[in-house]
Amino acid sequence: MKFTISSNKLLKYLQYFNGIINYNNPISILNNFIFKVKDKKLFVIASDLEITLITKIDIIKNYQIGKIAVPAKLIINTLKNFSEQPITFYSENEHILNIISKYGNYTITIQNAETFPTLYISNINYIGTIKLSTNTFSKIIDKTLFASGNDEFKQVMTGVFFDITTNKSVFVSTDSYKLVKYVRKDIIINNNQIAKLIIPKKPLKILKSILKTKKEEQLTIYYNDSNTKFSLSDKTLICKLITGNYPNYESVIPKNNDKKFIINKNIFLNSLKRMALFSSKKNYQICLDLKSQKLNLIAKDIDFSNQAFETLKCDYTGKDFKIGFNSKFLIDIISHIDGENIIFELSKPNLAGILKPFDSLEEEELLMLVMPYYSQ
C-alpha cells in the first residue's frame, strides 16, 4: 500500500475521530485507524464497536491499493507537529509502515488490519431511510441534545428520540427536569415507514462536530431495529441504537396553561444570568412573580446573605402568580430558542412551564418544558 496526502488535510479528518477512539481499549486493534487505499481515495475507519466512522479523503499522488492498521494516537501526535506538506505512507507488508516527510523518514510497527472487526458494518440490513438537509439535522441536534440525560439507570433518556411518521417528524429529549419536543414537517421517509429510534448522545455529538465545518448537502439516515447509519458525501457514521421504550412525553406536557406572557428573549436571558449569581449555589432557585404587564425576579442565597430583585416588562394581563425554577435550567432552555421574543406558558406552581418561540417557521414547531423548583 502506498499514498501521498496533505498533512494538514489528513490531520483535519483524523481529528473527527477523537470522540470514538478510546486509547486504553483492551481490544488493542481498536486503538488504530484502518487506512484503506481504493479508487484514488484514502478511506479511514475507526470504531469502538458501538460507533463506527468511515471517511474518504482525496490522495495527492503515488497510490497503490492496500489496507493497514495505524496507531491512532501516534499518527495524530506526529501530524500535529508537521507544517503543511505532502506526506507519503507506504507499507510492503502487514507489520511495518514507513512515513516520508520533508524532514525525514519514520518507521512504525503495525498490527494486521484484517483483525479489525468490520464484518458487522457491511452485513447490516436496513429497513428504511430518512432524507433531510445537513442544516436541518444540525438544527435538530442543537435543539434537542442539550436536554438529554446522563443517568445510565435511565438509559433511554440519555439519547434523542426520533419519532418519524409520514406527515411529521418529532424529536424529543429529556433529563426529567427539562424536555424538548421539536417537530419538523419537511423530512422525507421512504416506503411510508414509521421509525421510532433512540439515538445515543455520543454519535450525535460527533455528527454535530462534523456538520459545523460542512456546506449544506443531503444527509441520508438508514435504520433498522438496532442500528442506524448516517451517510454524507465523504463520511459515514454507523451506531447502535438505545433499546427500550421512550417515556410517554406527551403525558408530562401541561395542556391547559391559562397564564401566558410574552417577553424579550435577550432581556430575560441576561436577567436570569445575573439572578443566577445571587441564587443559592446548591439549587440556583429563583422566583418568577408575575403581575400585570411586568415580571419580578427574585433570587436569594441565604448561606451568604446575598439577594437580588429585578423587574422586567412583559405582555401579561392575568392574575398575580408566583412560581420557582432552577435558573440554570431556564438559561439553558432559553439559549436554544431562536427569535426576538418568547412565550412562557404556566398553569399551577407545581406544574411544568412551557417555553416557545414567538415566531416560528412554517415547517417547524418547538416546545421546551422546564419543571418548577419551588413555589411561594
Same domain, 57 and 148: no
Q: Does 204 share its domain with 92?
A: no
CA distances to 112, 118, 226, 243 from 144, in Å: 41, 31, 21, 19
**Residue-level pLDDT at 123:** 75
Q: Looking at the structure, tell me whether residues 7 and 81 fall in a common domain.
A: yes
How much is the pTM?
0.92
Q: Are residues 267 and 324 in the same domain?
A: yes
In this structure, the answer to whether residues 274 and 242 fall within a common structural domain is no
Distance CA 114, CA 30 (A): 12
> How far is it, in rounded angstroms, from Cα 376 to Cα 364?
36
Show which of 250, 267, 282 is a domain's final residue.
Answer: 250
For residues 220 and 146, state if they share a domain: yes
Asked if 85 and 102 sit in the same domain, the reply is yes
Model pLDDT for residues 153-193, shown as the tens digit of each residue? 999 999 999 999 888 899 999 999 999 999 999 987 876 67
- The answer to whether residue 51 is domain-embedded is yes
pLDDT of residue 374: 52
Residue finishing a domain among 94, 120, 146: 120
**Do residues 74 and 103 share a domain?**
yes
Q: What 3-state DSSP class applies to 47?
A: strand
116 lies in the same domain as 88: yes
Query: Based on the domain organization, do 88 and 201 belong to the same domain?
Result: no
The answer to whether residue 375 sits within a structural domain is no
Q: Domain check: are 129 and 242 in the same one?
A: yes
Domain boundary among the residues 199, 227, 250 is at 250
Question: What pLDDT shows up at residue 376?
Answer: 40
Q: What is the Cα–Cα distance from 70 to 91, expressed in whole angstroms?
A: 11
The CA R_g of the chain, rounded to the nearest whole Å, is: 25
Residue 74 lies in domain: 2-120
Q: How many structural domains compose the chain?
A: 3
**CATH code (residue 136):** 3.10.150.10
Per-residue pLDDT of the chain (376 residues; tens, 9 = 90+): 999 999 999 999 999 998 898 888 889 999 999 999 998 899 999 999 999 999 999 998 778 899 999 999 999 999 999 999 999 999 988 899 999 999 999 999 999 999 998 756 667 889 889 999 999 999 999 999 999 999 999 999 999 999 998 888 999 999 999 999 999 999 878 766 788 999 999 999 999 999 998 899 999 999 999 999 999 999 999 999 999 999 999 999 999 899 999 999 999 999 999 999 999 999 999 999 999 999 999 999 988 999 999 999 999 989 999 999 999 999 999 999 999 999 999 999 999 999 999 998 899 999 999 999 854 4
Q: Are residues 134 and 79 in the same domain?
A: no
